Structure 1
C-alpha cells in the first residue's frame, strides 16, 4: 500500500494519482450536471411531455448523504482514502431538495493507478416539475456521446446504467453511473477511475453494474426510512 499523500516517504507517483483522481471526481460531478442541462437544450423533443410535478413517494432528505447513501458494496473493494475525508451537502428549497456525497477511495493490493477511484452520489426531490422527460433526454445524450447505456428493470419507475472506458492505448479512464427515477425523486451514483496498460484494472463493467445497482437500491430504500 503506498503511503498517504503528505506522509513521510510519499512518492510523487502516489501524489499524482490522487491529484488526477480528485480531478476525475470533479469532472464526473460536472459531467452529470452539464448532461442534464444539455439534454434539455439539445434534445427538445425528449422534454416536450407534461411537466406536472409527481409525488415524492415517501422519499425525504437526510443531513448526511454519505451515511444514508453509503455505498456498502463498493466499500467491500475499496476503503475511504486516509488523505481525503468524504464531503456531503444538503439543500432544502421550495421547488427542489437535494443532497450529495463525494468520496475518494483506495484499493489495496497494488501500486497502480487503478488502486484509486472516486464515487459521487446525489439525490434530488423535484417538487415543482416532472423530472422524467429530462432523465430520458439525459440518457439519449450520453448514448450519443458514445457511452454504453443499459436499461435496468425493476428499480423505481426507470433506471439505467452508463459505462465508458475512454482514453489511449496506454492510459484509460473509466466512468460508470447508475441513474434512478421514482416519482419525483432522482438519484445517481457515479464512479471514476483510471489505469495504465499492463497494470491491474479497476472492476469490470459487469462488476461495476452489479455493485452500483446494489448500492443504488440500498440508498433509495434508506431514503424512505
Structure 2
C-alpha cells in the first residue's frame, strides 16, 4: 500500500533565522498529505536570532521516519556544531529521509552531521567559501539539487527552494498551484545582490559579520576534527 502522507521535518533551534524555514513551511505545509514536524529536543519555546518566539511540535525522540528533512541556519548554528545530540539526530534522520535539504547556513549542520561529503550545496554568500571545510562542494546558485540533496541560498532563497522541493514531491502542477495561491511573484524594490553591490557596502557587511564568520569557521573545523577521529577509530577497529 503506497504512502499517502508526507512527513516533513524542520529543525528548530535557538538563534535560528526563522525565515530560513518559515518560508519553506508556508509552501510545504500546503502539499497534499503533508504532516509537518517542527523538531527540537523539547517542546518548549525557542527564540530566533531577532527575537521571534517559535514553538517546536515534535521532539527528536518522537520524530517519525521523514520524507523530507529541512535545516535552516542563523547565528545559533555554530553552537549546534558542538552539540552531539543534535548532530546525531540529524545524521539519523537524514540517513533515512527521501530528501535531505537545507537553507542558508543550515548546510553546515548537515555537513557537520556527515551528510554533505561530496555533495554540491548552496549557501548564504557570506559563508559559501567555508563550506568546503566539511567536504561539501559550494555552488553559487539560489537552488542546488544534487541527487537527493536540495539546498537554498541565503534566507529568502528558502521560498524558491520550497517550490523546487514541492515539485520533486508532488509534481510541477501542484507546486505551480501553490505558488499562484500564495501570489509568489516577487518584485524587489531594489536591484542589489552580491554581484552588483558597491564594494564598500560588501566590505561593511563582511566586517560586521566577521565575528560570526570566524566562529562558524572554528565550529566547522572542530566538527571536521571529530569526524576524522571517528573515522580513524572505525578504520582501526575494522583492521583488527
Q: Under a length normalisation based on structure 1, what TM-score does the superposition of the two structures give?
A: 0.27
Q: Which has the higher strand share?
A: 1
Larger relative CO (CA 8 A, sep 6+): 1 or 2?
1
Q: Under a length normalisation based on structure 2, what TM-score does the superposition of the two structures give?
A: 0.26
